[in-house]
Amino acid sequence: MIKFINNLLTRRILKKHAIAFSEWNDVISKIPMLSGLSSVEKARLRKLTTLFLSKKHIVGAHDLNITQTMRLTIASQACLQILNLGIDSFNGWVEIIVYPGAFKVSRTVTSEDGLVHQKINHLSGEAWDKGPLILSWEDVSSESYLLHSGQNVVIHEFAHKLDMLNGRANGMPPLHPNMTIEDWSETLSKAYELLNKKLDNFQHSSINPYASTNPGEFFAVISEYFFTAPHILFEFCPDVYEQLKQYYRQNTLQRYN
Ligand SMILES: [Zn+2]
């Protein structure tokens, strides 16, 4: 019965709030990351984006006026991640706050010698557990309309949201029944340790060093590569690519051939 009502609601939203084709085509044609999708995938993405926008509240900070183009730019890329996972993967939170540019975050940090001090960081995005997702529009727009290999703040922050579906962001989102925790942990841990070792030895890495921060950041960064530069991720570690392919249920390498 609940499923029936949900289906009815979904159909109603898709009918009532359908994104106009002209608006949709105009925005997605500007996003290179979406150009490799088939027409069937693009149609599915438009439906998911419609549902996403009906469920999420996108607000501007510092008087930033959120236009329909901005809403579609953010939502379409977020929904690319859940193209084969479903809209429920983004359940449990509602608000997306968009700043005009990088935003300042002040945190209390305890140093190794036990001193407590305030640290100020400038961030392009942040995802709170069960809370809002925060983005800098300057970073979103520059990384959306031009393909930056391995860099996409929307993919990064929404990967954290997927990771947080089963607790804190620890690099392991809820896996599918055909996957195993052992395979995932072993594959990703090995690659994470290898990356850290390389960086400790001042060796070059094809993967953004930020991935070495912790397993949660590793998952978010490799997700950025999976969607924007899968060949680099595949060369870095084919097994990691394979795990992400199974998790996202997408073969992104095919799109870039
Ligand atoms: Zn992060």
In this predicted structure, the answer to whether residue 150 has a pLDDT above a threshold of 90 is: yes
118-130 tens-digit pLDDT: 888 888 999 999 8
237 band by pLDDT with thresholds 50, 70 and 90:
very high
Specify if 174 maps to a domain: yes
Centroid of ligand 1 to alpha carbon of 25 (angstroms): 30
Sign of the Cα pseudo-torsion (160, 165, 168, 170, in order) = negative
Centroid of ligand 1 to alpha carbon of 207 (angstroms): 15
Specify if 77 maps to a domain: no
Specify if 204 maps to a domain: yes
Reported pTM: 0.92
* Tally of domains in the chain: 1
> What's the rounded mean pLDDT across residues 68-89?
97
Q: CB under 8 Å to 154, separation ≥6 — which residues?
A: 74, 77, 78, 125, 135, 140, 143, 144
Centroid of ligand 1 to alpha carbon of 134 (angstroms): 11
Specify if 101 maps to a domain: no
pLDDT at 183: 98
Specify if 51 maps to a domain: no
111-120 tens-digit pLDDT: 777 778 888 8
Specify if 216 maps to a domain: yes
Centroid of ligand 1 to alpha carbon of 19 (angstroms): 30
Tell me the DSSP string of 195-208: HHHHHHTT---SS-
Task: Identify whether the C-beta of residue 123 lies closer than 8 Å to the C-beta of residue 102.
Answer: yes
> What's the rounded mean pLDDT across residues 19-41?
95
Centroid of ligand 1 to alpha carbon of 77 (angstroms): 16
> What's the rounded mean pLDDT across residues 140-146?
96
> What's the rounded mean pLDDT across residues 44-49?
96
Task: Identify whether the C-beta of residue 51 lies closer than 8 Å to the C-beta of residue 13.
Answer: yes
Number of neighbouring beta carbons within 10 Å of residue 126: 20
Centroid of ligand 1 to alpha carbon of 92 (angstroms): 19
Domain that holds residue 244: 170-257
pLDDT at 120: 83
Centroid of ligand 1 to alpha carbon of 219 (angstroms): 9
pLDDT at 1: 67
pLDDT at 15: 77
Structure tokens, 30: 């500007």
Centroid of ligand 1 to alpha carbon of 11 (angstroms): 34
* CATH number, domain containing residue 178: 3.40.390.10
Specify if 56 maps to a domain: no
2 band by pLDDT with thresholds 50, 70 and 90:
low
pLDDT at 7: 76
pLDDT at 108: 81
pLDDT at 123: 87
Specify if 244 maps to a domain: yes
pLDDT at 106: 80
Q: H helices within the chain, ranges in order? A: 2-16, 21-28, 39-55, 68-81, 137-144, 153-163, 181-200, 215-228, 230-236, 238-248, 252-255
